Amino acid sequence: MTEALTNYFFPFWTLILTLVIGVGVLSYVPVILMVERWGSAWLQRRSGPNRVGPMGSMQPMADALKLVFKEANIPAQSHKILFLLAPALAVVPPFVALTVIPFGGSIHFMGAEYPVQISQLSVGLLFLLGITSLHVYSVLLAGWASNNKFSLMGALRSSSQMISYEIAIGVCMVSLILTYGTLDLREIVKLQEHGSSLPAWGMFLQPVAFIILWICAFAETNRLPFDLPEGESELVAGYHTEYSGLTFGLFFMGEYVAMGVASAFLTTLFLGGFNVPFISELELRNLLLAQNLSLEIASLVTVILQVLAFVMKTGFFLWVYVWIRWTLPRFRYDQLMDLGWKVLLPIGVLNAIVTLGVTFFLRNSQ
Partner 1 sequence: MITVSLLQILLGILVLTSALGVVLSRNPIVSAMMLMSTLFLTGGLYISLGLYFIGAVQILIYAGAIAVLFIFIVMLLDMKTFKMVIPGRKIIGALGLVAAAMIFASFYQSILSGQHFNGATSLAGTETVNAADPKIISLHFLSKYMIAFQMTGLLILGAIMGAVVLGKPVKPKMAGNFAQNTTEEKAI
Contacts of residue 299, defined as CB under 8 A and 6 or more positions apart, other chains included, come to 105, 106, 107, 108, 109, 285
- Does the bond joining 60 to the residue before it have cis omega, within 30 degrees of 0? no
**Shortest distance in whole angstroms from residue 1 CB to partner 1:** 14
With respect to partner 1, which residue has the nearer C-beta, 63 or 187?
187
Q: 151, 127, 135: which is closest to 234 by C-alpha?
A: 151
With respect to partner 1, which residue has the nearer C-beta, 36 or 242?
242
Residues lying near partner 1 in the complex (CB under 8 A) are found at 79, 81-82, 85, 121-123, 126-127, 129-131, 133-134, 136-137, 140-141, 144, 152, 155-156, 159-160, 163, 166, 183
Distances (CA, A) of 353 to 171, 346, 358: 10, 11, 9
With respect to partner 1, which residue has the nearer C-beta, 183 or 318?
183
With respect to partner 1, which residue has the nearer C-beta, 92 or 347?
92
**Shortest distance in whole angstroms from residue 121 CB to partner 1:** 6
DSSP class of residue 51 equals: S
Buried/exposed code over 318-349 (b: 16+ C-beta within 10 A; e: otherwise): beebbeebeeeebbeeeebeebbeeebbebbb
With respect to partner 1, which residue has the nearer C-beta, 39 or 340?
340
**Shortest distance in whole angstroms from residue 341 CB to partner 1:** 15
**Shortest distance in whole angstroms from residue 164 CB to partner 1:** 12
**Shortest distance in whole angstroms from residue 136 CB to partner 1:** 6
**Shortest distance in whole angstroms from residue 144 CB to partner 1:** 6
**Shortest distance in whole angstroms from residue 159 CB to partner 1:** 6
With respect to partner 1, which residue has the nearer C-beta, 170 or 315?
170
Secondary structure class of 115 (helix, strand, coil): strand
Vertex 272: Cα angle to 267 and 106 (nearest 5): 100
**Shortest distance in whole angstroms from residue 163 CB to partner 1:** 6
By CB neighbour count within 10 A (0-12 exposed, 13-18 middle, 19+ buried), where does 294 fall?
exposed
* HEC sequence for 6-35: HCCCHHHHHHHHHHHHHHHHHHHHHHHHHH
**Shortest distance in whole angstroms from residue 134 CB to partner 1:** 6
With respect to partner 1, which residue has the nearer C-beta, 6 or 27?
6
8 Å CB contact between 122 and 116: no
With respect to partner 1, which residue has the nearer C-beta, 134 or 287?
134
Distances (CA, A) of 7 to 2, 64, 109, 186, 303: 9, 41, 10, 20, 20
Distance CA 159, CA 286 (A): 50
Distance CA 245, CA 164 (A): 31
